[in-house]
Amino acid sequence: MLEGIPKKEYPRLFYRYFKEFLEVLAGKTSLKLYLAHNYPSLYKPKFKGGEKLKWKGFQTTCPKISELYKPSPDFCHLICVLLGQYSIPQCDVKENDIVFDVGAHIGFFSYFASQKGAKEVYAFEPNPYVFEILKKHAEMWSDKIKPFEIALYSSNGFQELLIPNPLAGWSTLAPKEREGEKVKVKTMTLDSFVKEYDVERVDFIKIDAEGSEREILKGAKETIKKFKPKMAIAAYHLPDDKKVIPELVLSIRDDYKFKLVNKGEEDLFFF
């Protein structure tokens, strides 16, 4: 649990866990949310639409699937809590971090990062249908969230994006034997984006790109070498992700430590 964390951080972390557990005992926080937030690799909760939950005295209701694209403030707060699973102690979004949300979808990780105090959140979503929702959410949630209708990749140019179902929300540049709409989208390397938009530094990168994770990393080599950002990378789209992604990252910088966290969807955290 504490692997890779400086010992000087232990008291602060134990105090946080203890304080939040006292809130569970006091009825201010649901045990289910406490476990999901603090022990994501050990506890994988199932939530039902309409289920009442509490977090630090704030009561919320688990949304139904039909409410996914109409997020209420309660829903946003719940998602923010659950995305705390990205905040394993070794790999956390800190105040004033500059964050890249690659495969932002409709923006919940971007929202989470902004709530954690990120200075700027660059949110990338190439699916034009989903991007329109992301853009509206960014306007509603925070001016720190900067949405871009770009697919970060290993090269600059244009690629065909497969969209099996616009309403399903997911799309991919990775080869898949599926039918669906294909649209041409702009691609950029992360390194090119950092240079073109004069990004001063990169502190945290989250990547969930339906199989394109390793291509995105190839296009981010200079940024990773220079800044050694904390990273959270989806590791469940391709069968060998859990082997190939760490090899690729360590070939760029061999001083990373990493941890696989299984919260229903497996993610690799680099720190």
Q: What is the per-residue pLDDT across 110-149, written as a single tens digit (0 to 9) for each?
A: 988 998 899 999 999 999 988 998 998 899 889 999 999 9
Given this model, what pLDDT does residue 170 score?
63
Range of the domain at 18: 7-85
151/262 same-domain check: yes
109/240 same-domain check: yes
Q: What is the per-residue pLDDT across 9-59, written as a single tens digit (0 to 9) for each?
A: 678 677 778 888 898 999 988 898 788 767 766 666 676 767 788 877 767
The pTM of the full predicted model, rounded to 2 decimals, is 0.76
CA-to-CA separations, 201 to 99, 218, 240, in angstroms, rounded:
9, 18, 30
Let me know if residue 2 belongs to a domain: no
99/65 same-domain check: no
65/189 same-domain check: no
How many domains does the chain contain in total? Answer: 2
pLDDT of 2 strictly over 60: no
At residue 82 the predicted structure's pLDDT band, cuts being 50, 70 and 90, is low
- Final residue belonging to a domain, choices 32, 64, 85: 85
59/193 same-domain check: no
Given this model, what pLDDT does residue 178 score?
61
Let me know if residue 1 belongs to a domain: no
223/160 same-domain check: yes
228/263 same-domain check: yes
Beta carbons of 134 and 238 less than 8 angstroms apart = no
Q: What average pLDDT does this structure show over 198-216?
A: 96
47/67 same-domain check: yes
55's tokens: 């977090």
Given this model, what pLDDT does residue 251 score?
98
126/144 same-domain check: yes
Whole-angstrom Cα distance, residue 153 to residue 212? 7
Given this model, what pLDDT does residue 115 score?
85
Sign of CA dihedral 265, 109, 199, 158: positive
Q: What is the per-residue pLDDT across 161-182, written as a single tens digit (0 to 9) for each?
A: 988 766 555 677 766 656 678 8
In percent, the amount of the chain with pLDDT more than 90 equals 50
Beta carbons of 101 and 142 less than 8 angstroms apart = no
Let me know if residue 22 belongs to a domain: yes
- Final residue belonging to a domain, choices 34, 52, 85: 85
11/102 same-domain check: no
Whole-angstrom Cα distance, residue 50 to residue 37? 20
Burial of 92 from C-beta contacts in 10 A (0-12 / 13-18 / 19+): middle
156/245 same-domain check: yes
- Final residue belonging to a domain, choices 33, 67, 85: 85
56/115 same-domain check: no
CATH classification at residue 215: 3.40.50.150
Q: Which amino acid is at 179?
A: E
